[in-house]
Structure 1
């Protein structure tokens, strides 16, 4: 097992950023030809999402995209399956079934025989396990050899630093869930290159390593050899000539399907060779060359991020500040959807150490969600705009020092901050209404912060700063889906002073929290200049709240805070009514930060084969639940579902349609308790190999409908 490189963590972060930058650069003109790009946009040197001189798909920069969601969701298979020595394709397929919400999350849902991934999902759903779900034998060569397997390999490489054998195994198992043939060869080659890039910078040597995992008769091998030959023929000086040769021999017109892997793999190799040691040049080539630009640039960006590190990313135009680390991973585990490059890098880094059987580094700043410990990291924080008469603009920078337990902090600088005006910086904990105008890919997400949780941050004031008042604040949606601010207590910080702020988020009345941040106000009547350093910001504790319809259907953002995995989610009558036809569905809220809590709801089964209340829900196929069904005249079961279902306890219970049942489920460590009408039915301990340690709450129904007014979430009742 290769040793973990000393700079592993920073290179993973750079790889994650490289992937994001590449995807965000290429997304607005995905599918365009080189000729069209040159005619309408010219060489791609920076983000073009706000260009007004061409009809682009969207003005959004940070977008929901399968290239991002799949790349970072699917490697969760490692932790979800207990980090097996040899993760299997079937286990990755089960991970698909857990995180995918059909027609809504992660994938392009283009239909069977049209979208390779949708086709594979339908196979998995029907009971066909991976790798057969992605086989050419079942789906045909055209469907099996599209680009998707190549798109999703980066995570498998980043958990395998200097270990291409492991990266290739993982990438192949994952690729065969949906793909076969040349698509798998391409995925293996790139995974090997990215894994080896942690310890080797030479592109030619990386290609040799990648080709070592590709059969000699594979077309992918011939593609790589041709592009290398063309590159050598012009001494690496004329990428446009080589691109034209690729189009002539391997163009889109030579291969069937929507987005075949061969043409795009050729462009990935093109950008890799001609980019040499420059991240910026590789991005320019990968995006200007055309075809599947976001996919190709995403893979190239990750490879070059790993190769060149943060210094390479920062050697040209500032690609990092506009995105501020932000990313979306739309999935059935909605609490992990609003995330950032630091959080996802930390997850991959932890997996890499576990697979290497090496002790991982201690969590940065005791595991604070926003720790700013990577150079340049912003984790979504930005200056909040508003009325010039009220809000004062600030400058935000990641700087060394000013941290009690870490290495870096977020510097919030302000000049001439006058009395009566305030400066605000914040980061999203949910999405805004603008997200509904993003094309193609839907965003399923829950807020990451809830009423009853305690927010904490640590601050330092620059020695030359004037005295300022600071307080935590949150932006919360209201009945008009507008944002209003709620505040914690005010503290004064003198020049050179320090403070730890804590604030228990109050009851928001069922409305979701959109963002969390810091407000700064001058105390000097002449105004102040200065800098406040944010060491970290985090939160903890069980939520204390009521999830309900907060008004008479005046607002909608509260409804979007639920992950919707049912055929109908209606709020007109009882408050929450869900319907699932001929299968099990759910709505859910919460995050894996929710460890120990009690969920209670008065549920009416209107018509259903089975129904219930879930806790520690982590997707479609990972949760505890108290379930009621019609077996033997009525039955209640306490179950644990991790793909397969385990019955922890069961008893007869003659429930009836149209009757209201007060159901409660409490999770506290490994102890699970279930109640109906205040009576304890079950109290068990989960002694299984895989404990579900955290997750949200859910309402579940199978082939029918249930309704409720609300779901109450509180801390566990210890005397129960």
Structure 2
């Protein structure tokens, strides 16, 4: 089916609705209705401040929803995507015991159980089957909470949405869990083209067995809605007939599916009221509110979200997606919406949406600020307000307005968006937050700014970075400034300077001058590969360590080696960089202390998608240097004899340019070997230190751009 004309805005509203619902319900996840009413009352708005927790958090509902969907682009965006492909996507992006999932243990956490099945070679859909894991484990809530993305890539096509939902859900779930996920997927898909809630429900139930519990539950909910005017009375019916005492396990889908319908049926098509009912009703509050928010976001668009209180302002589009693809971990709702839309457009055979020539921050989605907030580090004396604005763009229709006032000599106002973890993210409760920076030294920053025609005086404008330094404090680095007179514009082109191994936390715009006025940020983006050395910074601190996504059993800084690595079983990766990196050279000094293999990874897209140059062993035990592609298994692309041993240092370098791959290894006394190959399967990704079963040291890790040798 062709995508709807308003597809982009509806998806953006769906993404916003999802994260608003999750952020709303997360501070009291798992509470009963009675406890919520006793301690918080009805949940009409965010309660994070009352609970003393942050609003923007990492959460499995968000991470899983927007990560497992990557199976489509990773496997060719085809309608033939299989459950096995989606299972492989789990193994690639999940880091065991650290990212995405609730790691509650075998037989207790459904997703952890499925992951262990996949890890030990049991492919989907058997990995999530009731026959293998038991009915109670297989029918928990996870399939439903991860399902929204599969609906959003199938706008107005419930058959496709339901089929994708079945394949995705079967990786970890079975039975009623799949039916509940299919109902949500069908309703969300139809919501792109159908405004009536009961028509959405009628469409959805066509796809599930009429003798299923979910089917019967939906019929009961509609009957209770007709009988009881007060949602609280229907909630009591749910507790009596479908409560946790009847549907056991850690978090069963049936009771929580009922609470999603409760909010929808009694919410009067109002975003705030529907979320209030579902969240106040208790149980899995963030999951249920997330599904309700996504569905209503799709159905009623941004206008439905904006009709109530300011849901969007405190969030400012901000999202965390901690996975093995660390460069994507710090992201925003507009960016993720565009990715979903382009998957959906590809499935429909349509060209991708590429706003402002592919700029990372483009502000083309209505009301989007893409994580930009006021940075108070500019000092005192000036006031800044950020607002999404129409116009003031040379290649789009919208921009970001920076309204400043009370600007005076000696002070500055700043607006910035995060490119890496800020210090408070390390104290975030709950899920582990792993990330790599999105921006690195050597990359070319570009941004266009313009001054409003009515500004009474010129204002000085520059780009700036906030970079970690000694003691993990943030210090600014500035581009050259420019004086913007009223009605003039400027395009910055700034090569990111060397940071001495410290990660870049923020990128933004700084204004200096007098008085008041407005400057518009049309777009901000960067391109090219990095020129960076990754080591222990002279100023110390620990944030440089957090810039590595840890897919190793253990790693720590050493005294004589920057990186001491340990992998007890299988292959571990210590990853840095982003999917946008294409052509570059990565090099390092490696010392295998005891290892089956060790080396360097390039174009790393997760735990099981990368190229690697390895010191390894042939079948007869002889040392070899090996160039491999890891993608649904290991493929040896090239190999050469190389007699390496333990506790000796080796210089390794891996070049990736286009389809050409070349690896060099040499000893300190000049013994060397080269392996080369051509391969077209992986187009971009970060770097990694790679270790198979053993321990090794590494130092002098560097990435640079340049021609292949």
Q: Please state which band the TM-score falls in when normalised by the shorter chain.
A: over 0.9
Distance 1:673 1:472 in 2: 37
Q: Corresponding residue for 1:329?
A: 321
Does the residue aligned with 1:608 lie in a helix, a strand or coil? Answer: strand
Instruction: Give, in whole Å, the separation in 2 of the partners of 1:587 and 1:314.
Output: 42
Q: Does 1:277 pair with 2:269? A: yes
**Counterpart position of 1:426:** 416
Indicate whether 1:556 and 2:542 are aligned.
yes
Per-residue deviation, residues 249-306 of structure 1 (Å, max 9, x unmatched): 1111211111110000000011111123211111111111111000000000000000
Q: Which residue of 1 aligns with 2:279?
A: 287
Q: How does 1:450-465 map to 2 (within 5 A)?
A: 450-465=440-455
Q: Distance in 2 between matches of 1:432 and 1:151?
A: 27
* 1:640 paired residue among 611, 629, 638: 629
> Residues 140-539 of structure 1: matches in 2 within 5 Å?
140-234=134-228, 237-361=229-353, 363-386=354-377, 389=380, 392-465=382-455, 466-522=457-513, 527-539=514-526
1:681 paired residue number: 674
1:383–1:393 contact (8 Å) kept in structure 2? no
3-state SS of paired residue (1:501): strand
Distance in 1, matches of 2:420 and 2:384, equals: 23
* 2:590 alignment counterpart: 603
Q: What is the CA-CA distance between 1:680 and the residue it aligns to?
A: 6.4
Aligned-partner SS, 1:360: coil
- Name the structure 2 match of 1:44: 43
| CA drift at 1:416 | 2.1
Give the RMSD, CA atoms, in angstroms: 1.2
Shifted more, 431-440 versus 4-13: the winner is 431-440
Residues 549 and 576 in structure 1, CA contact (< 8 A), matched pair in contact too: no
- Superposed CA deviations along residues 309-357 of structure 1, whole A, max 9, x for unmatched, are 0011100101001010000111011111111101110110000011111
**Residues 1:692 and 2:686 aligned together:** no
| Gap change, CA 1:512 and 1:619, over 3 Å in 2 | same
Structure 2 Cα separation of the partners of residues 606 and 117 of structure 1: 35
Contact 2:382 2:413 in 1 (8 A): yes
Aligned to 2:195, the other structure's residue is in SS state coil
**Aligned-pair distance for 1:444?**
1.0
Structure-2 residue corresponding to 1:628:
615
Counterpart for residue 4 of structure 2 = 5
Distance, in Å, in 2 between the alignment partners of 1:392 and 1:516 is 20
Partner of 1:35: 34
Paired with 2:123 and 2:595, the residues of 1 have a C-alpha distance of 28
Equivalent positions of 1:604-619 (< 5 A) are 604-619=591-606
Aligned match of 2:130 in 131, 136, 139?
136
Supply the distance in 2 between the matched residues of 1:462 and 1:85 (Cα, whole angstroms): 48
**Structure 2 alignment gaps of length 5 or more:** none
Deviates more, 1:5-14 or 1:377-386: 377-386
Which deviates the most, 70-79 or 672-681? 672-681
Deviation, 1:176, is 0.6
Distance 1:340 1:387 in 2: 24
**SS at 2:49 equivalent:** coil
Paired position in structure 1 for 2:558: 572
Match of 1:649 among 638, 643, 657: 638
Inter-partner Cα distance in structure 1 for 2:125 and 2:299: 32
Q: Give the conservation status (yes or no) of the 8 Å contact 1:203–1:276.
A: no
Deviation string, structure 1 residues 368-414 (Cα, Å, up to 9, x no partner): 0000001110111011114753x623000001100111110000001
Structure 1: how far apart are the matches of 2:677 and 2:189?
Answer: 43
Q: Residue 83 of structure 1: CA displacement?
A: 1.5
DSSP 3-state at the match of 1:302:
helix
Partner of 2:700: 710
Between stretches 559-568 and 378-387, larger displacement belongs to 378-387
Q: Give yes or no for contact 1:571–1:577 (8 Å, CA) kept in 2.
A: yes
**Matched residues in 2 for 1:648 and 1:380: separation?**
42
Between the two proteins, the alignment pairs up a number of residues equal to 701
CA distance in 2: counterparts of 1:168 and 1:34, whole angstroms: 31
8 Å Cα contact 2:378-2:414 kept in structure 1: no
Q: Name the CA distance, whole Å, in 2 between partners of 1:417 and 1:539.
A: 29
Name the SS for the 1:374 alignment partner.
Answer: coil
d(CA) in 1 for partners of 2:584, 2:529 = 6
SS in 2 for 1:398: strand
* 1:105 aligned residue: 99
**Structure 2 counterpart SS, 1:155:** helix
Q: Is the 8 A contact 1:106 1:330 kept in 2?
A: yes
What 5-or-longer segments of structure 1 have no aligned partner?
A: none
Contact 1:271 1:286 in 2 (8 A): yes
Maintained 8 Å contact 1:392/1:422: yes
Distance 1:179 1:31 in 2: 21
Distance 1:615 1:196 in 2: 41
Using the TM superposition, give the Cα deviation of residue 682 of structure 1 relative to its aligned residue in structure 2, in angstroms.
2.4
Cα deviation for residue 627 of structure 1 reads 1.4
Distance 2:699 2:352 in 1: 45
Counterpart position of 1:90: 84
Is the CA contact (8 Å cut-off) linking 2:387 and 2:400 kept in structure 1?
A: yes
Distance (Å, rounded) in 2 between the aligned partners of 1:260 and 1:130: 21
In structure 2, what is the Cα distance between the partners aligned to 1:424 and 1:294? Answer: 33
